[in-house]
Amino acid sequence: MSFRTKNTSDLEYNHILRAHALRVMGTVDKCIYRLDNREKLRDLMMDLGIRHQNYSVKIEYIDLMGPQFISSIKPHLENMWTEEHERAWENLFQLMCYYMKKGMCSI
């Protein structure tokens, strides 16, 4: 579904967007648990990249995932958030995006 034509208040209550956000959270969780097994992490994200290519997602949107995720969770962890946390999340998303884009280009 394209969200481009929706205004912000419509998106807040959009069940499709909420479901997608939950899938993103699940993928982040899977990637964290696969950090010790890079092949599984790579395969997960490359497969996800292939699926997103099939949905005609523009590759340049993939790099927006990390900054958007961080800007969403950071305010809720403000009391304990450090530069080290920021770098760790940025590194995780760089890795995830790298493999996802690689999958998108493999078609």
| CA neighbor of 69 nearest in space, from 100, 101, 92, 48 | 92
What are the structure tokens assigned to 86, written together? 């920021």
For all residues of the chain together, what is the average pLDDT? 90
* Cβ(21)–Cβ(77) below 8 Å: no
- Alpha-carbon span 80 to 26, nearest angstrom: 23
- pLDDT score for 30: 97
Residue closest to 103 by CA, chosen among 55, 45, 64: 45
Residue 2 covered by a domain: no
- Please give the model's pTM, rounded to 2 decimal places: 0.84
Confidence of residue 21 (pLDDT cuts 50, 70, 90): confident
Please count the structural domains in the chain: 1
Is 62 within a domain?
Answer: yes
Report pLDDT digits (tens) over 45-81: 999 999 999 999 999 999 999 999 999 999 999 899 9
Structural domain contains residue 78: yes
